[in-house]
Amino acid sequence: NAGVTQTPKFQVLKTGQSMTLQCAQDMNHEYMSWYRQDPGMGLRLIHYSVGAGITDQGEVPNGYNVSRSTTEDFPLRLLSAAPSQTSVYFCASSNGRTGGYYGYTFGSGTRLTVV
């Protein structure tokens, strides 16, 4: 199994551009989420989904949109990139509705730089 696959691995955007970070998992996990990781801040939850058609906001949702049309895919859209969105983005999935007892499987990350 591939696990959680994120693309692209690296991206440079200009301020104001939009893009979509892709995330796919082949483990039939119900729960998927997006985090960003910044130095000294730890991982912060952007958006999450407990199943197809259901999404909700996390701690830092502004400037990002998500959708979950299938169990496998959970793309993250940056609407109008800003330098403050320069970060490493991780997609994660978990078995079980809450993931509370199973932990996460993370994708390998997307390093985004906004200039």
Partner 1 sequence: RKEVEQDPGPFNVPEGATVAFNCTYSNSASQSFFWYRQDCRKEPKLLMSVYSSGNEDGRFTAQLNRASQYISLLIRDSKLSDSATYLCVVNVGTGNQFYFGTGTSLTVIP
| CB 1 to partner 1: min, Å | 15
Structure tokens at 74: 């959970």
Q: How far is CA 81 from CA 13, 67, 70, 85, 105, in A?
A: 7, 18, 26, 7, 27
Binding partner 1 by CB under 8 A: which of 43, 72, 78, 85? Answer: 43
Is residue 40 close enough to count as binding partner 1 by CB under 8 A?
Answer: yes
Contact map string, positions 20 to 39, toward partner 1, x by CB under 8 A: -----------x-x-x----
Q: CB-based contacts of 40: which residues, under 8 Å, 6+ apart?
A: none
Binding site for partner 1 (CB under 8 A): 31, 33, 35, 40-45, 48, 50, 56, 58, 90, 97-101, 103-109
